[in-house]
Amino acid sequence: MHDDRSLVEARLKRVLDERIRPAVYPEAVPLDVAVWTAPGEPVPVAEGLAAEVSPIAVGDRWGAPWGTSWFRVTGTVPAAWAGRAVEAVLDLGFDENMPGFQCEGLVYRPDGTPVKGLNPRNQWVRVADRAEGGEQVRLHVEAASNPVVLDYHPFLPTRLGDKETAGDEPQYRLARMDLAVFDETVWQLVMDLEVLGELMAELPVEGSRRWEVLRAVGRALDAVDLQDVNGTASAARAELEGVLAEPAHPAAHRISAVGHAHIDSAWLWPLRETVRKVARTTSNMTALLAAEPDFVFTMSQAQQWAWVKEHRPEVWAKVVEAVAEGRFVPAGGMWVESDTNMPGSEAMARQFVHGKRFFLDEFGVENDEAWLPDTFGFAAGLPQIIKAAGSKWLLTQKISWSTTNKFPHHTFRWEGIDGTRIFTHFPPVDTYNCSMKGSEIAHAERNFKDKGVARHSLAPTGWGDGGGGTTREMVAKAARLRDLNGSARVVWEKPADFFAKAEAEYPDPPVWVGELYLELHRATLTSQAGTKQGNRRSEHLLREAELWAATAAVRAGHPYPYEQLDRIWKTVLLHQFHDILPGSSIAWVHREARATYAAVAAELTGIIDAAQRALAGEGTRTLVFNGAPHTRDGVAAGGASSPALDGGAAVGSRAEGGFVLDNGLLRVEVDERGLVVSAYDIASGREAVAPGRAANLLQLHPDFPNQWDAWDVDAFYRNTGADLTDVDELAALPDGSGVRIVRSFGASKATQTLTLAAGSGRLDIATEVDWHETEKFLKLAFPLDVHAERYASETQFGHVYRPTHTNTSWEWAKFEACNHRFVHLEEPGWGIALVNDSTYGHDVTRTVREDDGGTTTTVRASLLRAPRFPDPETDQGVHRFHHALVPGATVGDAVREGYRVNLPERRVEGGQDVAPLFAVTDDAVVVTAVKLADDGSGDVVVRFHEARGGRATATLTAGFPVAGAVATDLLERPLADPPAPERTGGAVTVSLRPFELRTLRFTPRS
């Protein structure tokens, strides 16, 4: 037989596009349309329904950027349509390639009942399954004219990302507002032909199955009368029954389809718009669940559920009903799908505390899985946190985006820094927006790396990022793929059902140890410095607020602000969403975030001040409150007492020009350029700065990545750059405490102060940058005389080691990485730390010097970037950073100094010292939280971990009478099989593994 394959395939495409799909709606009449445009922000539903409308016609423009228009559509079902299925087809001016990224709508009945959402891939509203002639139709559409920020030519700078700069030019043109007959048979024929055509394209040309499908498709096309598609669709479908009924191979891959709509809690839209996106999507999904009995939908992010409950009670009622039926499934057990690299230890724990508690309180649902499909890599401390929250599984997708190395597994156990292992799955479909295309299903089976030992994978199915969810077309395709020869088998399942099956069939999967580093989006560790500083400051203020409020409640009967702290925690957790904290959202989002963080700081400072005043009592003594987990300057951790005498370094002139700072522990030489050319650790007789090099060196690089401007920094940025050595001003500080350096570069200015405190081997570096560069990357470099093959970066509840060399492509790819409060390098017997108060991104490189054969290891902190998409004004303005170089530091010193920089002492006038609520006998055991139990019982909760990477035995002594103490999970629930601490009164002795996390709950004795 002649090879006519391409002929039939081309015929299928044209006939589908030009004849069969248009015949789904064979008859249509226009609807009458009127509109009211809300003058500002979105209005309540009742107001939108009652508003006075004006006529508008198809073809007219509507919708200023970020505006809201309320359309009223009315019409009458023609008498000739009686008994037929009728739908309203409402095209607001959609581009079908941009679901979730342009205008959207939510349809209401006149009584305010939500019907479903509208988006580019979901433009229909069912009016009647069997219409009555003369039936009146009246619908209202709350339409959001969200502008297209990410267009076909992506990453172009745009002012559309903020309502303050977006203008008022209408963005859209009404395209279709019709009442139409829906031909179910033709629609089913479209589904048949799409599934078979997509399957056919994936089958091997040499195999018989492809040709069987091709011939059946050809016969079906022959059966279609192109002048009477509706009358011949049944005959065409009959020609396809045989190939659609042929079952899949018994060994075919099994895909658990999970209805899904990954909704970014903010990204190319503000938080307020996400509230509406969630309402539209959940309305769509509850409607689809009612129509499709096999369908299962899952939604993560407790914050988004809470938004629906708070803002759209009419939608919430339908969601609650669907959850009760077991088919609308809460997933993930986190407040938001957060970034996991940058959130601190306690914040990462609280993501699970608040997320899981919401689902437990609202639905009695205990989530066993963490659900993070789009997060930009995973910190090595996360497995322990997942387990401590009572969960055991993890799903993500984003690692498939890595550009250098292909991750070797799809199902595996992930081992964290403490040895905890979590069963983890990466869907081989390589998207969290699966649409049930044949190419996606075939890719999932071909791509699955665990063939031969496992055969289950998961496919999150539905339009996402901007929401929308699963469509009836996806459900129809999945039904045909349930058992179809040539395809993987597809079945709708809950995430928990998938994980249970996958774990049962693969009880001993491979193990991946350490962080799951995404080889992409590395610049998210630096972009939007103001947002990152707001997060870091908020985390530490929350620590202090809980500590001092709990201490004041126990000691002084001061009211504990349960509801206030709960609300603030949720606000901070929301802003750790993986497009807010990483700095990859539009200008509007970050403008609001900065204002929110300022309000959070003011509110938490008020809580702290009130608690400390209650503890200090009346008096005129100056008390220092130490919120850090280590004794500092004679003040106990978590306590307050009179301070040690202040002091500082002697500042003198340097013979060659510049200054010398010396406090008897550390001698620092600053040359005439304002650079640190020596940092001499007097106790060890060891020089920290590499010979012939200068530290505290600002370096400026060009920064224009190939794509994803706010997200990416590409390795070639290091090929060129400038050392900022010109100095405008170099002078001793007026009080003699240090040195001030001022530099100008480009349109920007940097001002630094270098100080040494009395009794401290730490060089403090305060940097203020008035930043007005574009597409530049600013680094702060410290070339150190240390030979180290690895270095430590703080992460949640410990630190992770990374190599300083690039032996392999895996190591080379980590050219920008994350740390929290410190980076630490060490030779046997001597180390050095660089600590910070608000930066995360850094790089570490090494070279061998030719003159003496020594190794120079350079640590560089990433300070600022200036990408132009999606926020064209990223980071413009004044920023302040605090770093400290600590020569001679152990990793324990690095932990301590990191807290010192982030938790400065607070001075309060009062009359009495404050003893800590808890005293710990071993500095290796770090307390991360002291608080009252969330249930309002008055119990005191303390969370701590081993912080140095070794074993530790420590005694925690409560500074109040204790009736009992129990080990709990993160949600403060007693553990089923707790480790057995030794308790004597209020003293509990615990033995910890390296980096082990523990939570204890103490009941005070009344």
Q: Which residues are catalytic?
A: 374
* Other Cβ atoms closer than 10 A to 893: 21
Q: What is the 3-state secondary structure (H, E, C) of 363-386?
A: HCCCCCEEECCCCCCECCCHHHHH
Please report, for residues 654, 663, 680, 861, 895, the alpha-carbon distance to residue 687 in angstroms, rounded to integers and kept in the order given.
17, 15, 4, 21, 22
Single out the residue of 575, 573, 547, 539 nearest to residue 345, CA to CA.
539
Residue for token pair 């022959």: 222
Q: What is the CA radius of gyration of the chain?
A: 31
* DSSP state string for 524-560: GGTS-HHHHHHHHHHHHHHHHHHHHHHHHHHHH-PPP
Q: What are phi and psi of 753, to 5 degrees?
A: -125, 135
* Other Cβ atoms closer than 10 A to 880: 13
Token pair in block for residue 436? 């049930």
> From CA 646, how far away is CA 621, in angstroms rounded?
15
CA quadruple 80, 81, 84, 90: dihedral, nearest 10: 160
Please report, for residues 36, 507, 660, 819, 904, the alpha-carbon distance to residue 167 in angstroms, rounded to integers and kept in the order given.
19, 58, 55, 40, 44
CA quadruple 593, 597, 600, 601: dihedral, nearest 10: -170
Q: Residues 6 or more apart from 980 whose CB is under 8 A from it?
A: none
Strand order in the sheet with 918-920: 918-920, 952-958, 987-992, 982-984
Token pair in block for residue 113? 């009942």
Q: At what angle do helices 5-15 and 208-223 cross, to 10 degrees?
A: 40
Residue for token pair 């009760």: 324
Q: What is the 3-state secondary structure (H, E, C) of 746-795?
A: CCEEEEEEEEEECCCCCEEEEEEEEECCCCEEEEEEEEECCCCCEEEEEE
> From CA 750, how far away is CA 375, in angstroms rounded?
33
Q: Residues 6 or more apart from 25 whose CB is under 8 A from it?
A: 87, 89, 178, 180, 181, 182, 183
> From CA 726, how far away is CA 705, in angstroms rounded?
28
> From CA 865, how far away is CA 527, in angstroms rounded?
6
> From CA 970, how far away is CA 660, in angstroms rounded?
49
The three-point CA angle 931-937-940 to 5° equals: 30
- Three-state SS for 62? strand
DSSP-derived pairing of the beta strands 86-91 and 982-984: unpaired
> From CA 870, how far away is CA 707, in angstroms rounded?
12
**Could you check whether the bond before residue 887 is cis, i.e. omega within 30 degrees of 0?**
no
> From CA 289, how far away is CA 46, in angstroms rounded?
26
> From CA 548, how far away is CA 564, in angstroms rounded?
14
> From CA 90, how far away is CA 117, in angstroms rounded?
11
881 burial via Cβ count (<10 Å: 0-12, 13-18, 19+): buried
CA quadruple 809, 810, 813, 816: dihedral, nearest 10: -150
